[in-house]
């Protein structure tokens, strides 16, 4: 016996422009600017470089690496300040244990919102490079959060509209 089928629902009216294949509406600039969350973004060095530029960071460039071979790493422009690994490295049960300790000289923010890993990675890098020009907004934010623990910094990043707006653009 086939399953019972209810009456068809009427389509809800959506805002935005339909995608070329008609699947879903694209977000518009005002939608992205007012979105309270963090949009999922592609892990693409070009995006990261644009984000850094819009944040006011000068003198830093993101480059994609496909292999951890030592000879290949030596061909990268120097100095290499950090590597971003794009995969989950902990089992879900391990994530329950919070580590509140962070050395005083290290600026680290726990990622508290979903879909913000790229931005958190960039902030955790740029806030630890001595002498790097951060731009006035990021410098003020770093100074404001400097004495916070990593979890509080993560919450502060989640509330930092300047960075969230850049991430969502």
26-89+104-168: CATH architecture: 3-Layer(aba) Sandwich (3.40)
Check whether 159 has a pLDDT greater than 70: yes
pLDDT (0 to 100) of residue 13 = 46
pLDDT in tens, 107-120: 999 999 988 999 99
The pTM of this model reads: 0.74
Task: Report d(CA 15, CA 33) in Å as an integer.
Answer: 15
Q: What are the phi and psi torsion angles at 4 (to 5°)? A: -70, 140
pLDDT (0 to 100) of residue 3 = 47
pLDDT (0 to 100) of residue 35 = 65
Task: Report d(CA 98, CA 119) in Å as an integer.
Answer: 21
pLDDT in tens, 40-72: 888 889 999 999 999 999 999 999 888 889 998
Q: What is the mean pLDDT of the chain?
A: 81
Task: Report d(CA 27, CA 32) in Å as an integer.
Answer: 6
Check whether 22 has a pLDDT greater than 60: no
pLDDT (0 to 100) of residue 101 = 74
Q: Domain coordinates of the chain in residue numbers?
A: 26-89+104-168
Mean pLDDT of 112-140: 95
């Amino acid at each position: 016996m086939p399953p019972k089928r209810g009456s068809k629902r009427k389509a809800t009216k959506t805002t935005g422009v339909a995608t070329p294949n008609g699947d879903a509406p694209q977000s518009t600039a005002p939608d992205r600017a007012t979105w309270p969350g963090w949009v999922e973004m592609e892990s693409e060095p070009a995006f990261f470089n644009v984000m850094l530029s819009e944040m006011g960071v000068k003198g830093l460039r993101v480059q994609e690496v496909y292999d951890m071979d030592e000879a290949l790493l030596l061909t990268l422009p120097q100095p290499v300040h950090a590597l971003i690994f794009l995969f989950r490295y902990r089992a879900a049960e391990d994530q329950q244990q919070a580590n509140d300790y962070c050395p005083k000289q290290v600026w680290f923010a726990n990622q508290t919102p979903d879909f913000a890993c790229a931005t958190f990675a960039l902030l955790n890098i740029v806030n630890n490079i001595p002498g790097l020009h951060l731009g006035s907004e990021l410098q003020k934010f770093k100074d404001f959060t400097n004495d916070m623990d990593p979890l509080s910094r993560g919450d502060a990043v989640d509330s930092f509209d300047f960075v969230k707006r850049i991430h969502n653009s």
